[in-house]
Amino acid sequence: MKEQLRACILKGIEGCFADGTLTSGVVPAINVEKPAHAEHGDFATNVAMQMAKQERKAPRAVAEALVKKLAEASDLIRSVEIAGPGFINFFVEDSAWRKVLTEIDRAGDEYGKSKVGARKKVQVEFVSANPTGPLHIGHGRGAATGDAVASLLSAAGFDVQREYYINDAGNQMNTLGLSGLLRYKELLGEKIDFPENCYQGDYIKDIARDAIAKHGDRFLKAPQEEGVAFFAKMGGDLILKGIDEDLQDFGIRFDNWFSEQSLFDEGKVTSAIAEMQEKGHIYEQEGALWFKTTAFGDDKDRVVVRSNGVTTYFASDIAYHRDKYARGFDWVIDVWGADHHGYVPRLKSVVQGLGRKADDLGIILVQLVSLLRDGQPVAMSTRSGEFVTLKEVVDEVGRDAARFFFLMRRSDSQLDFDLELAKRQSNDNPVYYVQYAHARIRSIFDTARERGVEPDFTGVRLELLEGADDMSLIKKLSLYPEILEGAAVNFEPHRITYYLQDLAGEFHSFYNKSRVITPEEPELTQARLFLLHCVAVTLKNALTVLGISAPERM
């Protein structure tokens, strides 16, 4: 609809240039937006205000010249009016709005999708939790966000790959290995003073028990270095397997699992550092190697290799992102916890050091989750016996509710997750409210058949949908493609949850005011059923892109 209006406005401007009422010959970018208030029209443009300076006329004078032409430009427009200092408001013909329903029915599962991505190759890397413990609910929010962003980008025409980066190199793996070894020795009767910096969770004892079952006391007297290496590998593999299982239960599957250790094993860290030195981005000072990130706007340069020869995490990240672009990705998106916000400038520096644009790297920051029960904070501690892992939350509230709640707010704003609300079967629960709208529509169709009304949309008379509630619902449906595209390119899946709640609200309001099945008016009944069919299609499409089901019955 907006594109059609832009074409009308352009035609009107060209008509004004042709008859001399406007003379600059300069056509600005034409913005068409939806006004905040319905009484101001279906759409509005500020193009007259943009053109006023070049035309050397008052904005309203430019608007008046354009309005004369716009009235002739298309049968799309019912009326045009000038408002304020020179805004032009458009009221679109109802017949044009009704064509949206035909498009929804034709497109089906594809409604809302676009080709704006032009098959550009995009990698979305998310979760990437250290394989040193189970996923907690913060990881769950990052998982839901990354997966939804990947799905949105796919729906917008991008070629998307999902990747999990396994942090299986560095001190945390040695700490995991030592933790497992000490619990193993403890379970075999050795008195152990368990260090505070080791991993404390019961899952470490589970790893130790598994090792005893399979290997007996083999590592009781073995050199510590051998035992640490064994438990680091065994523990990491078991934990990663559990992470994968939890994510699959959450509806998430990765196209690729990438090992940090492989960057060292294949010499990619060394070659990345060498390349950056050749380009003049890495220099030596006091025996250490530093990346000149200040050259790209960072507040200070960053150490890549310490004076003792040990690489930093930053060295791995340089190699990893270099490898991503070498694999042919045009756009790389990283989903991080909000506590990594200070890391953004240095990674942007790396991307530019590789000869890419800073915007070739997108960063999504995910804020903390506060767990509530009926509005009261839940202690986030395993010792309290309350929920802390993603699995425990999903087991209590279900996959759909967990995903919807994680996606209800901007990812960079703190989220309150109320466990009891997420389970409640009432309109207070947003995911129930939305899913019930879809199930209710299916129930209406069942009721129609029970009353002898078989839905038949052949030759359906859409012009009978002329009431204010009919048109309001149709206009809400028309917004979905634009909202999906905006959610995709801005990495904001919460726009879809907002839209779903708005659409469900519009439907429930419509149903409470309007009769759908009217036996004495069979043609209106078919038109209303067709409208609700289109609502169901749109609800299902929007839920699906978030990885949430659209139940037929509830």
- Given a contact cutoff of 8 angstroms between Cβ atoms, the answer to whether 259 and 203 are in contact is no
Cβ neighbours of 64 (radius 10 Å)? 16
Token couple for 48: 């007259």
Long-range contacts of 225-232 (CB under 8 A, 24+ apart): 227/177, 227/181, 227/184, 228/174, 228/177, 228/178, 228/181, 229/177, 230/177, 230/181, 231/176, 231/177, 231/178, 231/179, 231/180, 231/181, 231/184, 231/207, 232/173, 232/174, 232/176, 232/177, 232/180
Helices (H), 327-454: 344-353, 390-397, 399-406, 419-423, 430-450
- CA–CA separation, 494 vs 485, rounded Å? 13
- Distance separating alpha carbons of residues 109 and 100, to the nearest angstrom: 15
- The verdict on pTM exceeding 0.75 is yes
- Whole-number pLDDT of residue 73: 66
Q: Is residue 387 pLDDT above 60, yes or no? A: no
Tens digits of per-residue pLDDT, 303-333? 999 999 999 999 999 999 999 999 999 999 9
What is the percent of the chain with per-residue pLDDT over 70, rounded to a whole number?
Answer: 98
Q: What is the pLDDT averaged over residues 508-516?
A: 94
pLDDT of residue 38: 83
DSSP state of 389: B
Task: Give 165-202 pLDDT, tens digit per residue.
Answer: 999 998 999 999 999 999 999 999 999 999 988 998 88
**Res. 229: pLDDT tops 70:** yes
Calculate mean pLDDT across residues 520-524.
95
- Flag whether pLDDT at 353 surpasses 60: yes
pLDDT band for position 386 (cuts 50, 70, 90): very low
Q: Which residues contact 494 (CB under 8 A, 6 or more apart)?
A: 407, 408, 409, 410, 411, 487
What is the structure's pLDDT at 383? 41
Burial of 129 (0-12, 13-18, 19+ CB in 10 A): buried
The CA distances from residue 488 to 156, 254, 341, 476, 509, in Å, are 7, 19, 21, 19, 29
CA-derived radius of gyration, the chain: 29
* pLDDT (mean) for 386-406: 91
Residue type (1 letter), 234? M
* Distance, CA of 103 to CA of 101 (rounded, Å): 5
Instruction: Specify the amino acid at residue 99.
Output: K
Helix (H, G, I), strand (E, B) or coil at 121: strand
Residue 448 has pLDDT above 70, yes or no: yes
The rounded distance, in Å, linking the Cα atoms of 43 and 54 is 24
